[in-house]
Every structure is written in structure tokens, then in C-alpha cells.
Amino acid sequence: MKKNNKTFLIVLFCFAGVLLLGGGITAFIVNYNLQAAPIVEIVDDGGHVYAKTLVNNDYKGYRFKVSQAGNSIYIDSKINYVDLTSQERIIPGEKYSVSVCYLGEIEGNNSAYSDQVDWQAYKYLETPVLTYERNENRLLWSDEDNASYYILYYGANSTKVLGKEVSLGQLVGGENDIFVVAYSNNPYVKASAQSNKVHVQIKHEIQPFISGSFNKESNIISILGREKVQMINVYINGKSYLASKFLCQKVAEEVYQISLDISLINFAGEINQLGVSPAGHDNFNIYTGKILYINEQV
């Protein structure tokens, strides 16, 4: 009987030893995983730039390292990627090396770092938020950090704006959905995504012409205007003619050169008085200003 008890105790101790050894091995695996080092990649989704690695559930997290000239930025994460564009210490245009390791339960049991990936840093501007103030007849949008200018898009038209608001009267008339995009002059700060859209009816008062002249030999009227026009009223000897065929090109900021061949408006005879003005071309784009009379003839 005593011999049987001894045998039982030996078996029991052996079994306990196996359990302890198994538990130790399990703890070792959890806290010191022998898998190969992770792999890191740079991912761009069109609005943000991420450093990303494969998911590894044997570890508690991930540590991304962004290095430059011996200095490193460490970013710990519970998920397998980090947004590099949200890191203020990363400067657009600078070159960095990016790597990652897995984080163990104990600091000393992290995995080795991955091979480095070279990356020249860039970021995207944040998306503006567009607002329509009906009573003020203007559009406002949020002023985004690092934005140099904004472009409003509406229908087939676009307007560049340096500030963060615009009067609707400055835009080409029409009924449109409008959105705005932020841009930077820094090549490593990319344009934002499109803002929310705002539906508006734009009533536009076309601006009067600045100056004009007429060449008798070529029959060409030369006009300087403040904006691109689609139609022109030509006044000859007190009668008006509507012209739609002419050349209109931008020569400076808010200055347009217009060349109109008077022979295209079906007029023949002596010209005693000559004047021009922009003409409204629909219910949204109108002209109520004065006629520019041309006295200088060259």
C-alpha cells in the first residue's frame, strides 16, 4: 500500500511539473514571440498617409519609428497603422525612414524592428467646411492651416479666392451646386478633398468695360474688360447690334482683352458714333451699366 502511495505521488508531481512547464512555455510565447520581424508599408488613401503593418494578435500593439539623421519619433498604437499626416513633428518635404516593431506584454519582449522604408513626407490639407449666408449673399468656408488659396467650383466655372469668403455677385450667374477645395503653394502639401456642396442661385451684375479703341483699316474694336463676357452690344450711329463672335482672353488678373471684328455684325456704312457694352446672356447674368463710347480711332 505504501509503495502504491509513493507511485501515486511521483505521478502527481510529474503531472504538476508538466503543467508548470507548459504554462511557462505559454507565458514565454506570449511575452517573447519568435516570429520574424514585421513588414511596414506607406499607404495613401487620397486624404491621409499611413504607416501600416500586418495584424499580429500575439502582441499587445505596435510601435512605429520615423527616423531622420539619427533622431527618431516613436508612435505607439493599439491598431496596426498610424496616420503620419497628423504628426506635427513630421515636416512635409523632409526625408524619413519608417519602421515598426510588435509590442510585447513586457517592454523587453518586443519583436525586432522591420526593415526601413524611405519616405519623403507630404500631407493633405484638411477639408474646408462651406457655408452659405443668404442674407449677406456670400459664401464662407473654414480657413485651413497651410492653405495658400481656395478654388470654388460651380457648374463649368471655377473662381480662385485668396481669402475665406466670396460675394456671390463676383461669380458667374446661374443655379449651381458649389464646393470649395483648399490648395497650397508647397508641393509637399497636397490639395484638400472637396468640401460639402451648397446649392445656390447666383445673380451676377456684369461689370462695365474699362476702355476701347477702333481701327478703321482692320475694322477691329479693341476692348479692355474686368471679366470674361459672352455677348457684347455694339452701338453704331444710335442703333444696337448684338455680337457673340469675338476673341476674349485674360491678359492680367481681372483684366481681359477683347477683339471684335465689326464686319461680323452685319453693318455696312459710315460710322459716326461707336459704343460698346457687355450684354446679359440669361436671367442670371445681366448688365445695367453705361455704354462705353469710343472716340479714339487709330
Q: Is residue 141 part of a domain?
A: yes
Q: Is residue 7 part of a domain?
A: no
Residues 184 and 239 in one domain: no
Whole-number pLDDT of residue 209: 96
Residues 196 and 153 in one domain: yes
**Residue 225 pLDDT more than 90?**
yes
Q: Is residue 34 part of a domain?
A: no
Q: Which of 24-33, 76-85, 107-116, 170-179 has the highest mean pLDDT?
A: 76-85
**Residue 271 pLDDT more than 50?**
yes
Residues 194 and 269 in one domain: no
- Which among 123, 144, 169 is the end of a domain? 123
pLDDT (tens digit per residue) in 97-108: 999 999 998 877
State CA 85 to chain mean position distance.
14
pLDDT (tens digit per residue) in 51-88: 999 999 999 999 999 999 889 999 999 999 999 998 99
- Which among 176, 204, 232 is the end of a domain? 204
Whole-number pLDDT of residue 36: 57
Q: Is residue 2 part of a domain?
A: no
pLDDT (tens digit per residue) in 208-221: 999 999 998 898 99
**Residue 260 pLDDT more than 90?**
yes
The parent domain of residue 240 ranges over 211-293
**Residue 8 pLDDT more than 90?**
no
Domain count, the chain: 3
Q: Is residue 165 part of a domain?
A: yes
Residue 35 binned pLDDT confidence (cut-offs 50, 70, 90): low
Whole-number pLDDT of residue 25: 43
Nearest to 68 by CA among 41, 89, 42, 37: 89
Residues 195 and 151 in one domain: yes
* Amino acid (one-letter) located at 164: K
Nearest to 113 by CA among 174, 167, 156, 51: 51
* Mean pLDDT taken over the chain: 86
Residue 32 binned pLDDT confidence (cut-offs 50, 70, 90): very low
Alpha-carbon distance of 47 to 127, in angstroms, equals 9
Which residues lie below 8 Å from residue 192, measured CB to CB, with a gap of 6+?
47, 124, 125, 126, 127, 128, 144, 147, 181, 182, 183
Whole-number pLDDT of residue 83: 97
* pLDDT (average), residues 150-160: 92
- Give the three cell numbers for residue 102: 510588435
Q: Is residue 255 part of a domain?
A: yes
Supply the DSSP string of 57-102, one letter for each residue: TTSSEEEEEEEETTEEEEEEESSSEEEGGG-TTSPTT-EEEEEEEE
Who wins on pLDDT, 277 or 176? 277
CATH for 95: 2.60.40.10
Q: Is residue 17 part of a domain?
A: no
Residues 199 and 272 in one domain: no
Residues 136 and 184 in one domain: yes
Residues 65 and 95 in one domain: yes
CA 89, 90, 96, 97 dihedral sign is positive
State CA 101 to chain mean position distance.
33
Residue 14 binned pLDDT confidence (cut-offs 50, 70, 90): very low
Q: Whole-model pTM above 0.75? A: no
Residues 113 and 186 in one domain: no
Judge contact between 117 and 49, C-beta under 8 A.
no
